[in-house]
Structure 1
Amino acid sequence: MFSMNFDNLPWLVYIGQIVDILLVTYVVYKLIMIIRGTRAVQLVKGIAAIFIVWFVSSFLGLSTLEFITRQTATFGLLAIIIIFQPELRRGLEQLGRSRLFSSRSISKNEAIQPTIDALMKASVYMGKRRIGALISIERETGLNDYAETGIAMHANVSSELLINIFIPNTPLHDGAVVLKNDKILAAGCYLPLSEDSSISKELGTRHRAALGVSEVTDAITLIISEETGAISLSKRGTLYRELTKEQLRDLLEQNLLKAATTSDNRWQWGGKKDG
């Protein structure tokens, strides 16, 4: 009877190793995507620093330092579980909700284009009437940490809803709105204030919050000044001030549409650029 001895086929071992590497890479990638934009990023950096010190001290024979770092790594795991329990729970929930090979960019343009139109209409309306507003739009870095500080909405984006949220003396007008694709995740959210001492003194809390969140995430944030009605946008620690309608649409499309590849400077700035 014909039989095949698979022990003599080393290519099976190679395939197994390749699959193993691919699976580990995928798991690491998903973990990175989950923790981006959360406090867990700083945790990972701290853990990496401890293991680097542990490796170096072991290699150089620094027994005391090696003992300290080893004990820190051993007992630190329990502390990590306790301190970062909300982040761990949220990460497991995301893994449970997601499909195995889902992509965040599927039909992104179709979802974002109506959002851009709604943002344009709402911004122009509020700017003319000097209605203060702060709207942060999620890109790759998650904004769930900031959305959880406000009132959950999970509503479809519309210019009418955005305007209504920021009408003065309403319950949600004094915080930020967090958007994700075509959804309003939450309103009345708190964003981190920038501590950059070089920021112009004429800028208020909204502008500092917009700069603050742009320094720690890749989100773009719209600001409508309550004093002047000027429309501004923050991105990666830079504040683009006093935008015209055309400039605002240009920036939104460049940064939110999947196929956008143009530069921020393809037109001449009529306003101010800080940062």
Structure 2
Amino acid sequence: MDFLNSFFSGLGITEFVRPSIGITDVLDILIVAYIIYKVIFWIKETRAWVLFKGILVIFAFAAVAALLKLHTIIFVLSNTINMGIIALLIVFQPEMRKALEQLGKGKIFSYFTRGEDAGDEKAAARTVNEIVKAADKMGAAKTGALILMEQEVPLGDLERTGIPIDAIVSSQLLINIFEHNTPLHDGAVIIRRNRVAAATCFLPLTDSNEVSMELGTRHRAAIGASEVSDAHVIVVSEETGKISVARGGVLYRDLTPEQLKNMISEQDHQSAKKKLAIWKGRQDK
């Protein structure tokens, strides 16, 4: 208690009062501890972990300074900590944005964010078949392609970076869009409600350090788009002709047309996931 009084007095808190703990206080502490645990577990997978360890070092240094009564250092650190909230918002802005995006993609909000009906099952099945047929033919011809199938999370921000199309999905249209030396071949195609919404859309690149160096910009853009949305992102490699699907920040590589169909159709989503090897960029071919 003497140490705590010394520490908090160094931070400008004149008196540390011994608390009385009840059942609600224990519940409160457990909830906060669980939230802190989940936050730490999440940031360990991001670049924020290194920054977080740096903050822990600063707090440890502040505790030592308070114990040794190093008044100048305590003064500097106390004024720094007072601005800590603003500093955290600035430093962790990309990570906080990603966390809020992940929270917004949760199923708990799906009831409130559900839009108009995406079409009957027949139209959806036709769209899947046309995409699979186009991907197969472009893979055989080694024509690079990048296709996003919008799900629950709207892709309006990405769509605005491209050129509006608003056409029925067909394999001929997709192949023609990604044909070499055509005005629309560079960028991604966004499919919404069984229609081609836009082409030449720009996608955010993933900043993950676990992505293999053998993957190019097209695959990195696919992973990046899948990290900020729940879209199915189909990629056809221009170098190898292999078909891949990015979903939830994970890249499923070297798919057959049948596997691709299972991945992007809702009816066999879980069984297809179990049969496919998960590639995060660290495994070899």
The bucket for the TM-score relative to the shorter chain is 0.5 to 0.7
Deviation at 1:265?
Answer: 3.2
Unaligned runs of 5+ in 1: 1-64, 70-101
Counterpart check, 1:265 vs 2:265: no
- Residue 182 of structure 1 corresponds to which residue in structure 2? 194
- Residue 208 of structure 1 corresponds to which residue in structure 2? 220
**Partner SS for 2:246:** strand
- Residue 238 of structure 1 corresponds to which residue in structure 2? 250
Deviation at 1:250?
Answer: 1.0
Counterpart check, 1:111 vs 2:128: no
- Tell me if structure 1 keeps the 8 A contact 2:204–2:221: yes
TM-score, length basis structure 2: 0.56
| Count of aligned pairs between the two proteins | 172
In structure 1, distance between residues paired with 2:133 and 2:218: 20
After superposition, residues 133-212 of structure 1 pair within 5 angstroms as: 133-212=145-224
In structure 2, distance between residues paired with 1:156 and 1:188: 17
Deviation at 1:225?
Answer: 0.3
Q: CA RMSD in A?
A: 2.4
Deviation at 1:260?
Answer: 5.2
- Residue 274 of structure 1 corresponds to which residue in structure 2? 280
In structure 2, distance between residues paired with 1:152 and 1:265: 32
Q: Deviations over 1:221-252 (max 9, x none)?
A: 00000000000000000000000122111111
Unaligned runs of 5+ in 2: 1-81, 87-113
In structure 2, distance between residues paired with 1:160 and 1:106: 22
TM-score, length basis structure 1: 0.58
Counterpart check, 1:127 vs 2:127: no
Counterpart check, 1:224 vs 2:236: yes
- Residue 48 of structure 1 corresponds to which residue in structure 2? none
Q: Deviations over 1:108-153 (max 9, x none)?
A: 4233111101001100000000000000110000011111101101
Runs of 4 or more above 4 Å deviation: none
Higher Cα Rg, which structure: 2
What letter matches 1:265 in structure 2?
K
